[in-house]
């Protein structure tokens, strides 16, 4: 009998202590990290993407219809429980898209999508390469970051703290000073708690996974739909300062408006899984959008149109030129032919449509900053000294240029067509362009490479 009394008393004291300590947490909970997907943020070293049209789906970045994508988790990241969820939630897209996401073992050497599971500590947040940009990343690097701290059910752990449960005992055992315990500490400690049962915020895990895999399949942020959001720019800039985003980054991720073309004729869809949540104070007219955790009907329709299950080629497919494995740009002076011989080594691939590409070599100043003007009528590109080849590339073509000893792609620039440079060094810049269906202009910049400095004595 006496034993019982003691136990009850102890429990009562422990209870009051816990409640008192919880107050030290304060009442400010940090929000879920925003998605930091950048479009064309990272191509091969020395390559840039100057594409102007960001879009609701970037048709230039979509995979071929029916593609089987190999997906893996990066070595040693994530528990089996979290991996199982991400796999299941990612595969939601397969229900509507003619795409297979094949999850393969961590040690698979070549994959299309590589997921690194991190936490609030490494601050990599949530982001993904967009569509076929995934294939531009080195195999050693992830193409997607997911911050699994956001996937934990923090309310469960807070409640555990308040009731003196296993998490509370874990903290006490670690010698934590519970009198001054704060939310940042809480969010940090929860990562280390070896929970015997997974306690996930399923809807956040599902919504975030589907959003990032939406990017991996070529979808972009829905809030970029032309005219959809009347942003209060100054308050938005201020808000994203807490994530150390400068104006340019906020412009790019949040405020950028896509080309009308890339909306693919769809209506603006505030329920899209690809839409950021927007509080009313970020807009000038008080418009707001709640966090979306499920695919909308619009999402299902657009992904089914991009990757149709009932036909071979999507009606939304655009001509697509993809350059990969750009090994080198060789420029040789041929004093017999009296010309610069420009030899690029790379792979080119097209999609389901016939595509035109322009392979352009231009002269630049030694620092690579300026093109060199020319009066030559034949050897110029937009008034600058250079030469080019227009290529008609058949659908579904894969080609490796200059693989064999006999060269199959060379550009020739005769010495006499090169402006007088007064002995100054110059470089050769090689670029691949394709026509942009969205703008009708030749502004789709596919790849870029710059030679070492050269000089010409005549
Ligand atoms: Zn995103």
Beta bridge partners of 411: 342
If you measure from the C-alpha of residue 400 to the centroid of ligand 1, how many angstroms do you get, rounded to a whole number? 34
Residue 74's φ and ψ, nearest 5 degrees, are -70, 150
If you measure from the C-alpha of residue 265 to the centroid of ligand 1, how many angstroms do you get, rounded to a whole number? 21
- Given a cut of 60, is residue 22 above it in pLDDT? no
pLDDT mean over 234-258: 84
- Given a cut of 90, is residue 430 above it in pLDDT? yes
If you measure from the C-alpha of residue 358 to the centroid of ligand 1, how many angstroms do you get, rounded to a whole number? 32
If you measure from the C-alpha of residue 252 to the centroid of ligand 1, how many angstroms do you get, rounded to a whole number? 12
> For residue 103, what are the CA distances in angstroms to 72, 83, 203, 363?
5, 10, 22, 46
If you measure from the C-alpha of residue 52 to the centroid of ligand 1, how many angstroms do you get, rounded to a whole number? 18
Cβ-contact 226, 312 below 8 angstroms: no
| Residue closest to 244 by CA, chosen among 350, 124, 353 | 124
What pLDDT score does 136 carry?
84
If you measure from the C-alpha of residue 60 to the centroid of ligand 1, how many angstroms do you get, rounded to a whole number? 18
If you measure from the C-alpha of residue 429 to the centroid of ligand 1, how many angstroms do you get, rounded to a whole number? 33
pLDDT in tens, 309-341: 999 999 888 888 888 888 999 999 999 999 999
What pLDDT score does 312 carry?
92
What pLDDT score does 333 carry?
93
- Greatest Cα-to-Cα distance within the chain, rounded to the nearest angstrom: 109
More confident residue, 39 or 380: 380
- Given a cut of 90, is residue 413 above it in pLDDT? yes
Instruction: In whole angstroms, give the CA distance from residue 443 to residue 278.
Output: 32
Which SS3 state, helix, strand or coil, does residue 427 take? strand
Answer left, alpha or beta for residue 93, where phi above 0 means left and psi between -120 and 50 means alpha: alpha
Cβ atoms < 10 Å from Cβ of 441:
11
Instruction: In whole angstroms, give the CA distance from residue 275 to residue 179.
Output: 40
**Summary mean pLDDT of the chain:** 84
pLDDT in tens, 140-171: 999 999 999 999 998 898 888 889 899 999 99
What pLDDT score does 46 carry?
29
If you measure from the C-alpha of residue 210 to the centroid of ligand 1, how many angstroms do you get, rounded to a whole number? 10
If you measure from the C-alpha of residue 215 to the centroid of ligand 1, how many angstroms do you get, rounded to a whole number? 7
If you measure from the C-alpha of residue 183 to the centroid of ligand 1, how many angstroms do you get, rounded to a whole number? 26
Cβ-contact 455, 423 below 8 angstroms: yes
pLDDT band at 29 (very low <50, low <70, confident <90, very high): low
Sequence-ordered alpha helix ranges (H) in 143-201: 154-162, 166-173, 183-192
Least confident interval from 33-37, 201-205, 325-329, 393-397: 33-37
Instruction: In whole angstroms, give the CA distance from residue 374 to residue 372.
Output: 7
Least confident interval from 62-71, 153-162, 251-260, 366-375: 251-260
Please, what is the angle between helix 154-162 and helix 2-23, to 10°? 130
If you measure from the C-alpha of residue 274 to the centroid of ligand 1, how many angstroms do you get, rounded to a whole number? 6
Instruction: In whole angstroms, give the CA distance from residue 58 to residue 261.
Output: 9
More confident residue, 409 or 122: 409
Query: Residues near 89 by Cβ (< 8 Å), separated by ≥ 6?
Result: 205, 206, 209, 210, 213
If you measure from the C-alpha of residue 115 to the centroid of ligand 1, how many angstroms do you get, rounded to a whole number? 15
Query: Residues near 275 by Cβ (< 8 Å), separated by ≥ 6?
Result: 221, 222, 223, 269, 289, 292
What pLDDT score does 240 carry?
86
If you measure from the C-alpha of residue 273 to the centroid of ligand 1, how many angstroms do you get, rounded to a whole number? 9
- Given a cut of 90, is residue 226 above it in pLDDT? no
Cβ-contact 142, 74 below 8 angstroms: yes
What domains can you pick out in the chain, each with its CATH number? Answer: 15-317 (3.40.390.10), 321-450 (2.60.40.10)
| Residue closest to 349 by CA, chosen among 309, 393, 382 | 393
CA 339 from chain centre, in angstroms, equals 42
Instruction: In whole angstroms, give the CA distance from residue 70 to residue 51.
Output: 27
pLDDT mean over 348-364: 91
pLDDT mean over 136-143: 91
Residue 156's φ and ψ, nearest 5 degrees, are -60, -45
Instruction: In whole angstroms, give the CA distance from residue 377 to residue 244.
Output: 49
- Given a cut of 80, is residue 442 above it in pLDDT? no
If you measure from the C-alpha of residue 312 to the centroid of ligand 1, how many angstroms do you get, rounded to a whole number? 28
Instruction: In whole angstroms, give the CA distance from residue 192 to residue 188.
Output: 7
Instruction: In whole angstroms, give the CA distance from residue 408 to residue 367.
Output: 30
If you measure from the C-alpha of residue 76 to the centroid of ligand 1, how many angstroms do you get, rounded to a whole number? 25
If you measure from the C-alpha of residue 151 to the centroid of ligand 1, how many angstroms do you get, rounded to a whole number? 16
If you measure from the C-alpha of residue 266 to the centroid of ligand 1, how many angstroms do you get, rounded to a whole number? 19
User: What whole-number percentage of the chain has pLDDT above 90?
Assistant: 49
More confident residue, 410 or 4: 410
If you measure from the C-alpha of residue 268 to the centroid of ligand 1, how many angstroms do you get, rounded to a whole number? 16
pLDDT mean over 57-83: 91
pLDDT band at 9 (very low <50, low <70, confident <90, very high): very low
User: What whole-number percentage of the chain has pLDDT above 70?
Assistant: 88
> For residue 451, what are the CA distances in angstroms to 234, 333, 414, 419?
42, 13, 17, 18
Instruction: In whole angstroms, give the CA distance from residue 330 to residue 310.
Output: 45
* Ion ligand 1 neighbours, Cβ < 5 Å: 35, 37
pLDDT mean over 255-261: 75
If you measure from the C-alpha of residue 56 to the centroid of ligand 1, how many angstroms do you get, rounded to a whole number? 11
Cβ-contact 431, 448 below 8 angstroms: yes
If you measure from the C-alpha of residue 434 to the centroid of ligand 1, how many angstroms do you get, rounded to a whole number? 27
If you measure from the C-alpha of residue 238 to the centroid of ligand 1, how many angstroms do you get, rounded to a whole number? 20
């Amino acid at each position: 009998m006496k034993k019982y009394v003691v136990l009850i008393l102890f429990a009562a004291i422990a209870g009051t202590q816990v409640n008192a300590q919880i107050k030290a947490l304060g009442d400010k909970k940090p929000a879920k990290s925003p998605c930091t997907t950048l479009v064309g943020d990272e191509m091969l070293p020395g390559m840039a993407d100057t594409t102007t049209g960001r879009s609701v789906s970037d048709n230039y970045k979509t995979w071929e219809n029916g593609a089987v994508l190999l997906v893996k988790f990066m070595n040693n990241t994530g528990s089996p429980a979290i991996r199982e969820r991400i796999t299941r939630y990612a595969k939601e897209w397969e229900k509507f898209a003619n795409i297979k996401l094949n999850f393969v073992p961590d040690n698979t050497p070549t994959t299309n999508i590589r997921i690194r599971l991190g936490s609030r500590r490494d601050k990599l947040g949530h982001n993904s390469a967009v569509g076929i940009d995934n294939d531009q990343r080195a195999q050693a690097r992830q193409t997607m970051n997911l911050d699994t701290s956001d996937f934990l059910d923090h309310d469960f752990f807070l409640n555990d703290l308040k009731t003196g449960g296993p998490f509370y005992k874990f903290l006490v055992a670690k010698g934590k000073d519970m009198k001054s315990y704060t939310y940042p500490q809480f969010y940090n400690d929860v990562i280390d708690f070896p929970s015997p049962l997974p306690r996930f915020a399923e809807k956040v895990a599902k919504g975030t996974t589907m959003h990032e895999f939406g990017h991996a399949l070529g979808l972009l942020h829905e809030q970029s739909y032309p005219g959809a959001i009347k942003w209060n720019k100054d308050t938005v800039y201020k808000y994203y300062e807490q994530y150390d985003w400068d104006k340019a980054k906020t412009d790019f991720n949040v405020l950028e408006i896509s080309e009308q073309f890339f909306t693919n004729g769809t209506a603006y869809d505030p329920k899209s899984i690809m839409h950021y949540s927007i509080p009313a104070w970020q807009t000038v007219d008080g418009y707001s959008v709640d966090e979306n955790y499920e695919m909308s009907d619009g999402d299902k329709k657009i992904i089914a149109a991009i990757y149709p299950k009932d036909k071979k080629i999507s009606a939304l497919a655009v001509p697509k030129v993809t350059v990969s494995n750009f090994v080198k740009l060789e420029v040789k002076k041929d004093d017999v032919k009296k010309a610069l011989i420009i030899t690029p080594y790379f792979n080119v691939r097209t999609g389901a449509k016939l595509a035109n590409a322009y392979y352009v070599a231009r002269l630049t100043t030694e620092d690579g900053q300026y093109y060199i003007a020319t009066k030559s009528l034949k050897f110029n590109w937009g008034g600058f000294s250079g030469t080019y080849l227009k290529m008609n590339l058949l659908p579904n073509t894969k080609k490796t240029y200059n693989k064999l000893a006999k060269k199959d792609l060379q550009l020739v620039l005769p010495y006499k067509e090169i402006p007088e440079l007064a002995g100054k060094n110059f470089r050769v810049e090689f670029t691949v362009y394709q026509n942009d269906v969205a703008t009708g202009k030749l502004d789709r910049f596919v790849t870029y490479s710059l030679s070492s400095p050269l000089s010409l004595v005549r």
